[in-house]
Amino acid sequence: KYEKIWLVFGGITLIVFLSVIGVSAFAMGHHPPSDMTTIDPEKVKETAPFDDPGLKKIGDNEYEAVMVAQAFMFGEPLEVPKGATVHFKVTSADVVHGFSIPGTNVNMMITPGHINTITHKFDEAGEFLIICNEYCGVGHQAMSGKIEVN
Ligand code: CUA
């Protein structure tokens, strides 16, 4: 007799659980968070701002660096003056890549079709490497980019 009660209780719990999942999936589908902007990875290079990657001056020693990560590169080397604040806007045209600049706190994951952003102020002159720290295929070890600060 008791077993039947627990069976019914378990059934109700399961139904409540599934409804919660269903409702949250519905809610998320209808209100995607704005930072989850998704671009079809195959159309990344035709979609602004990634159709025109590179460095753009947006203020007093302030730049926006639009980059497309793709097996196995980050695009053209960048050159900025010492003290420049760079707002990186990066997406991937294929798989998940890493985006890390050793010696700085720049370290993020680049997900295909999403606009991943991070800002860094380059106070010291030098040559900075951008390295991929997410395994992305046979060329992963060699995947790097360059930022020249002078
Ligand atoms: Cu790109 Cu590892």
Q: Give the pLDDT band of residue 33 (cuts 50, 70, 90).
A: very low
**pLDDT 10s digits, 77-129:** 999 999 999 999 999 999 999 999 999 999 999 999 999 999 999 999 999 99
Residues near 25 by beta carbon (within 8 Å), at least 6 away in sequence: none
CA of 144 to the centre of ligand 1 (A): 8
Task: For 35-78, write each residue's pLDDT tens digit.
Answer: 556 888 889 999 999 999 999 999 999 999 999 999 999 999 99
In the DSSP assignment, the letter for residue 4 is H
Q: Which of 75, 76, 116, 82 is nearest to 96 (CA)?
A: 116
What atom of ligand 1 comes closest to residue 133's alpha carbon? Answer: 2
Check pocket membership of 142 for ligand 1, CB cut-off 6 A. no
ipTM score assigned to the predicted complex: 0.99
Q: Which atom of ligand 1 is nearest to the CA of 141?
A: 2
- Are 97 and 136 in contact by the 8 Å Cβ rule? The answer is yes
Q: How far is CA 46 from the centre of its chain?
A: 18
Q: How would you classify residue 54: left for phi > 0, otherwise alpha for psi between -120 and 50, otherwise beta?
A: left
pLDDT computed for residue 41 by the predictor: 86
Q: How confident is the model at residue 150 (pLDDT cuts 50, 70, 90)?
A: very high
Q: Is 134 in the pocket of ligand 1 (CB under 6 A)?
A: yes
Q: What is the position in ligand 1's atom list of the atom closest to the CA of 140?
A: 2
Asked if pLDDT for residue 31 goes beyond 60, the answer is no
Residues 150 and 148: their CA atoms lie apart, in Å, by 6
What confidence tens digit (pLDDT) does each residue in 14-24 have?
A: 888 788 777 77
Task: Tell me how far the alpha carbon of residue 106 lies from the centroid of ligand 1, in angstroms.
Answer: 15
